[in-house]
Chains A and B, each alone.
Chain A
Amino acid sequence: MEIFLEGAADALTLASIVSVIGGILLGYLVGVLPGLSRPAALSVAVPLTYSMSPIGAIAFLVGVTKASAAGGATGAILLNTPGEPSSTATTFDGYPLAKKGQATRALKTALYSSVFGDLVATLVLILLAASLARFALKMGPVEMTSVMIFALSFIAALSGTSLSRGIISGVLGLFLSTVGLDPESATPRMTFGFIELFDGIPLIAATVGMLAFTEMLVQVQALFAAKGKISATSGFAPETDKNLRFSDLKRVFPVTLRATGIGIGAGIIPGLGPTIGALLSYAINKRLARPGDTYGEGDLKGVAASEAADNAVLPASLIPLFAIGLPGSVSAAILVSAFMLHGVQPGPLVFDQHPRLIYGIYVSMIVASLVMLMVGRLGLTLFARVTLVPPRLIIPFVVLFCVIGTYLERDTAFSVFAMLALGFLGFAMQRYGYSVVTFLIGFVIGPLFELSLRQALIVTNHSPLAVFDHPIAVGFLLAALAAIVLFLRPGRQ
C-alpha cells in the first residue's frame, strides 16, 4: 500500500501531469489527421522522452496512444476518413449520422464510449492482469484459427445489399493480403520484383485509400455532376439536435459494455490488435441488433460498438506485457522499447523490481483517461464545424493528408501510389455495389488467418480431427457456424 501511494504521488506531480497532457494533445492531433498513424506517432514520440523521468516518459507515451485512438473517430465521423485504421468501423455509422445532421451527437457518443472502454480496460488491467495473462497463453494456433474463421463469418453480416458481392469483395481482400513474403518459406509472392511489397500491401495505404481517398473521389464526382449550379452547401443536413439524452445513453450502454469486453479480449490475445477488435465488436453487435436498430444507416450504437472496443484494446494489451512480458499490440510493442530505454525490462519480474513505477503508470493511465475526456469534449465543438465547410475546400486538405500519412508509414513513394491505386479500386467497387467494408475485413484478417491456419496444420500434424482436443477452438467454430446459419436464414430483414 505504501508503495502504491508513492507511485500515485509520482504520477500526480506537476511534471507527470504536464507530460500526460502533452501526450494527449499530440495523440489527439495524430488521431484526428488521417494517415498519421498511432504506431508512427509513438515511434516519433519515443525519442522525445529520452530526457524525461521514466514515469513522465511512459505517461507521455500512454497519453499519445490513448488520445490517438479516441481522436481517430473524429475524421471517421465527419469525413468518412478514419484517422487510424482502428476507427474504420466507426465510419460505418458515424458518417451516415453526420450526413443526417447528427455530427455532434455521433462525436459525443464516440468520445464517451471511448473513455468508458478505456477506463474499464485500465481497471481490468490493474485488478486482473496476472490471471488474464495466463488465459491469453492458452490461445494457440488452433484457437487463433477458429477465432479468425469466426471473424470471417461476419463478412456475411456486413455485406450490405448483396451477399454474393460482399463475399466476392471479402475474398478479393483476402487475396490481396497474401501479397508479400510467404510466412513459412519467406518466398516472395506476387511482389513483381518490388522489394517494397515484401511486407505486403501497406495497411495504412489500404485503409486510407479504400475509405478516405475513395470518399473524396465520390465527392469530386458529385461536384462535377452538380456543375453549373455549384452550391455552397456542404452535403450535410443542418444540425438540429446536438444533445445526447438519457434515453440515448440507456439505449447505447449495453452495446458499449459488450464492445468493451470484446476490446479487452482483443487486447489480451497477442496479434489481434485494435483494428480487428473494433471490426469484430461492430459485427457482433450488429448481429445482436434489436428491432429498431439501424446499423449501417447511422445508429449511435454502431459508433459506440466500434469506439469502445478500439479504446479498450490498448490498456488490455498491457496485461500480457506487464504480466508475462509479451506485447498484445503493435503500440504495446513500441512501449516496450520505451520501457527498456528507461531501464525497465517488462516481464514477470517487473512487479518485484519496479513496483513503484508500475503503480505510478496505473495512476497516470487513469489521469490520462480523464484528461482525454476534457480535451475531447473541448475539441468536439470545434471539429463539428467541419460539416459547415464546403467540399471543394475539404477535399484538397484530406487528399494532402492521405498522401503525407501514407508516405510517412514507410518513407517511400511506393505507399502513396498503392494508396491512390486502392482508392480508385475502392471507387470502382462502390460504383458497382461491391462492399469496401468486407474487402477490408478480408484484407486485415487475411495475414493472421493464413499464419494461424498454417501453424495449426503443423502442430496438429495435418489432422483436422485434432481440433476436438481444443475446447476453446470448438466453441468459436460452433459460434461461427451459428452466425452463418442465423444470417442466411431467409426472411430476416
Chain B
Amino acid sequence: MFRSIPKTLVQTGLALALLASPAVAEFPEKEVTITVGFGPGGGVDTITRAASDALSASLGEPVVVENQPGAGGGLALTALKAKPADGYNLAAAISTTISFDPHTSNVSFGIDDFEFIGAFGVFPEALVALPSRGWTNFSDVVAAAKDAPDGLTYASTTSLDRVVMKAISEKEGIVLKPVPTKGGAEAVAEVLGGHVDFAYSSGTYYAQAAAGELMVLAGLGTDPVPGFETAPTLKGLGYDISSVNMVVYLAPLGIPAEAKAKLVAAFEEAAKSQPLLDVLAKRNMGSFILTGDEFATQIRAQSAQFKAAME
C-alpha cells in the first residue's frame, strides 16, 4: 500500500505529462484476468494455472485465473464477448468451443467476435476399440460395418465426433450409430465392457491403451497420436477431415493492437516454461503451440471445414 503511493504519484505525473501527446500508458497497468470455461481441476484449468506464473512474469503484472464452467466453455465465451476490449480480460476454452459449437448449438457468439491470442497443446483425440475385435486400424472397422446388417455402434462424447463419423459414413455408404455418453470416462467404459463396437475419446483412453487393454484405430489430428505412431490418422486413411483440439485463449474483438502484441509475446514466452511443459506431457498433449495470426488462420480453417462437413 505505502509502496504503491509513490508509484501511483509517478504514474499520475507521467500521465499528466503525456496528456499533451496522444500516447497512452503502456499495457499492462493492472492485473490480467483469464476466465477458464471449465471447472477447476480439469485439463484446461490445470494448463492455464501452470502457464499463469510465466505469463505474469513476462507481462510484469499478476495474472488472475477464474473459473466459469458451463456449456462446454460457451458460458465463459458469452461472458467474455460482453467484457471491455482492453486486453485485461481473456477467456480459456478449447478449439471446438469456438470453431465448432457456433455451427450446431444456438450460442450467442461466433468466430468473428474474438481476437485469437494463443493456443497450447493438442488433445490426443482418437477412435479406440477392444484389441480382441481383431481389427488393425479404422479401415477394418469400415469393412466390418459394410458386412453388418444394422451397422456398428460407437460411443460418442461430442457433436464434433458425430459430424466426423457422419461424413465418413456417407462417403463409405455404411451405418455408424452414435451412442451418446456423458464424457470420455463413460465412453471408455462402454467400449471396455463390450457394449459398443468402438469409441471416440479425447484422451481418457490413453492409460488403457498404454496398458494394451484398448487399441487406437485412428487419430483425428493432422499428426499421429504421440505414443501410438503406428496408428493412422483419418487424413492418412483418405478422409478429408481432421480435428486439432487445443486449449485456446481468446480476447474480446477490438483490443488495442499494442495490448494484443504484448499478450501474444507473453504466451509465446509462457509456452517455453517448464511447469507448463510438464503438465502438457502428463496429459499426453505434446508441446505444440500457436499464437496470434497463425492461430487465427488455423482455427478459421477448422471452423470452415466443420461448416462444410455439416452441409
Contacts and interface: CB of A to CB of B under 8 A. Distances in A.
A354 interface: no
Contact of A270 (B66, B150, B189): B189
A42 interface: yes
Interface residues of A, number: 52
B70 A347 contact: no
A136 B181 CA distance: 16
Interface stretch (B206-214, B234-242, B256-264, B290-298): B206-214
Given A186-B159, A410-B68, A345 B189 contact: no
A199 B72 CA distance: 9
Interface in B272-295: 279, 282-283
A196 B282 contact: no
A326 B185 contact: yes
B4 to A, nearest CB: 27
Contact of A451 (B78, B177, B180, B204): B180
B74 interface: yes
Interface string A213-242: 000000000000000000000000000000
A140 B195 contact: yes
A173 B207 CA distance: 38
Given A43-B41, A338-B41, A347 B208 contact: yes
Contact of B193 (A47, A137, A337, A338): A137
Interface string B141-156: 0000000001001000
A184 B78 CA distance: 23
Contacts of B66: 411
A348 interface: yes
A44 B40 contact: yes
Given A188-B106, A411-B67, A326 B46 contact: no
A196 B195 contact: no
Given A195-B78, A340-B283, A349 B70 contact: no
A271 B186 contact: yes
Contact of A140 (B108, B180, B182, B193): B193
Contacts of B150: 461
B306 to A, nearest CB: 13
Given A196-B70, A337-B46, A348-B213, A187 B185 contact: no
Given A346-B207, A349-B211, A186 B186 contact: no
A386 interface: no
Provide the main secondary structure of the chain B interface.
mixed
B42 interface: yes
A198 B71 contact: yes
Nearest to A142: B195
Interface residues of B, number: 51
Interface centre among B188, B192, B196 (most CB of A within 10 A): B192
Contact of A46 (B41, B70, B71, B108): B41
Interface stretch (A12-20, A66-74, A391-399, A452-460): A452-460
B195 A458 contact: no
Contacts of A42: 41
Contacts of A377: none
B62 interface: no
Nearest to A454: B180
Contacts of B78: 195
B192 A333 contact: no
A139 B66 CA distance: 37
A46 B40 contact: yes
A181 B158 CA distance: 12
A136 B193 CA distance: 8
Given A198-B70, A199-B71, A345 B208 contact: no
B192 A47 contact: no
Interface in B86-117: 104-108
B49 A47 contact: yes
A349 B192 contact: no
Contacts of A455: 179-181, 190
Interface in A323-357: 324-327, 333-334, 337-338, 340-341, 343, 345-349
Closest 5 A/B residue pairs (Cβ): A347-B207, A140-B195, A43-B40, A137-B193, A198-B71
